[in-house]
């Protein structure tokens, strides 16, 4: 298509699209105008029903627990796919260029200050991540959010320019185990609901006092399972990508 034909097409399609957009936006409710019934209902019943104070977590692990089960396995499957593909590539690469790849990776630019602050970051990130995971049912956060923060902890070693030490700290077998144990743990909790209450994923643990760490029934355990899976999954994907970028081809400049 020539430039003129493309411009002519845009001259037709652009205003039409803009018109549809303006008409559509015109029909929207005004800002802050909330007509939902569901949200208000959930906000009212969930603290009473499950003793959870963070309704977002209560939604994820109680009211829509089955959706979360699906999301768990979306993450699990995609991470397995990435690992499967990239490991195959890596094997091919290693055969072709075994002599060139070096096993030691150091950034030339990682100063003492960067290394020092990353050393400080590791415990802080892991502690914060663990806190967010454990307090999922109480305050904003939960398994996914805390899991990603925790996964960033070992990554601070990479920022300090010591990728192989990061791999030592979080070896692949450990990440795989965390990923699978988290996914399996969530399923087992669900099956527990099926056994003890007759409903898949339904709460079967005592509810406890609202606001305390061990309250809201299964939610802290669900949160830990999801946190474990997410930590393992993210670190595994990062490791696979970094292996590709840093080890098999990053020989000469390191």
Partner 1 sequence: MSALQTTALIAVVAAGTAVVLTPEALRQTMVLGIFGLTLTILFFTFQAPDVALSEIVVSGVGLPLIILAALRKIRSQERDRQAEERDS
Q: Are 219 and 140 in contact (CB under 8 A)?
A: no
User: C-beta of 151: minimal distance to partner 1 in Å?
Assistant: 8
Q: Which is nearer to partner 1, 42 or 155 (CB)?
A: 155
User: C-beta of 144: minimal distance to partner 1 in Å?
Assistant: 6
Q: Are 167 and 157 in contact (CB under 8 A)?
A: no
User: C-beta of 213: minimal distance to partner 1 in Å?
Assistant: 18
Of residues 226-245, those binding partner 1 (CB under 8 A): 234, 237-238, 241-242, 244-245
Distances (CA, A) of 213 to 51, 135, 139, 241: 11, 7, 10, 37
User: C-beta of 20: minimal distance to partner 1 in Å?
Assistant: 20
- How many CB atoms are closer than 10 A to CB 241? 12
Choices 13-21, 171-179, 181-189, 246-254 (CB under 8 A): range interacting with partner 1: 246-254
The count of residues interacting with partner 1 (CB under 8 A) is 25
Build a one-symbol-per-residue string for 145-184: x at contacts with partner 1 by CB under 8 A, - elsewhere: x--xx--x--x-----------------------------
Please choose, from the candidates 33, 15, 31, the residue with its C-alpha nearest in 3D space to the C-alpha of residue 23.
15
- 50, 135, 137, 141: which one binds partner 1 (CB under 8 A): 141
User: C-beta of 196: minimal distance to partner 1 in Å?
Assistant: 29
Choices 45-53, 140-148, 167-175, 181-189 (CB under 8 A): range interacting with partner 1: 140-148
Q: Taking CB under 8 A as the rule, does residue 114 contact partner 1?
A: no
Of residues 45-84, those binding partner 1 (CB under 8 A): 54, 56-57
Build a one-symbol-per-residue string for 9-48: x at contacts with partner 1 by CB under 8 A, - elsewhere: ----------------------xx----------------
User: C-beta of 200: minimal distance to partner 1 in Å?
Assistant: 24
User: C-beta of 191: minimal distance to partner 1 in Å?
Assistant: 27
CA atoms within 13 A of residue 149's CA, in its CB half-sphere: 19
Which residue ranges make up the site for partner 1 (CB under 8 A)? Answer: 31-32, 54, 56-57, 132, 140-142, 144-145, 148-149, 152, 155, 234, 237-238, 241-242, 244-246, 249-250
């Amino acid at each position: 298509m020539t430039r003129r034909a493309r411009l002519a097409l845009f001259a037709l399609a652009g205003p039409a699209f803009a018109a549809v957009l303006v008409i559509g936006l015109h029909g929207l409710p005004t800002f802050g105008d909330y007509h939902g019934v569901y949200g208000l209902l959930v906000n009212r019943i969930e603290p009473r029903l499950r003793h959870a104070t963070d309704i977002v977590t209560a939604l994820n692990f109680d009211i829509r627990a089955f959706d979360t089960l699906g999301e768990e396995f979306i993450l699990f499957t995609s991470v397995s796919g990435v690992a499967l593909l990239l490991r195959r590539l890596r094997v091919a690469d290693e055969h072709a260029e075994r002599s060139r790849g070096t096993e030691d990776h150091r950034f030339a630019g990682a100063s003492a200050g960067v290394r020092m602050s990353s050393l400080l970051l590791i415990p802080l990130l892991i502690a914060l991540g663990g806190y967010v995971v454990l307090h999922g049912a109480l305050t904003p956060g939960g398994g996914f959010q805390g899991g990603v923060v925790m996964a960033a902890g070992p990554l601070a070693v990479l920022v300090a320019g010591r990728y192989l030490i990061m791999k030592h700290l979080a070896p692949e077998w450990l990440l795989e185990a965390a990923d699978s144990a988290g996914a399996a743990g969530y399923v087992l909790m669900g099956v527990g609901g099926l056994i003890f209450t007759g409903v898949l994923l339904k709460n079967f643990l005592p509810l406890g006092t609202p606001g305390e760490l061990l309250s809201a029934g299964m939610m802290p355990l669900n949160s830990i399972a999801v946190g474990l899976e997410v930590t393992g999954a993210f670190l595994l994907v990062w490791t696979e990508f970094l292996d590709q970028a840093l080890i098999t081809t990053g020989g000469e400049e390191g």
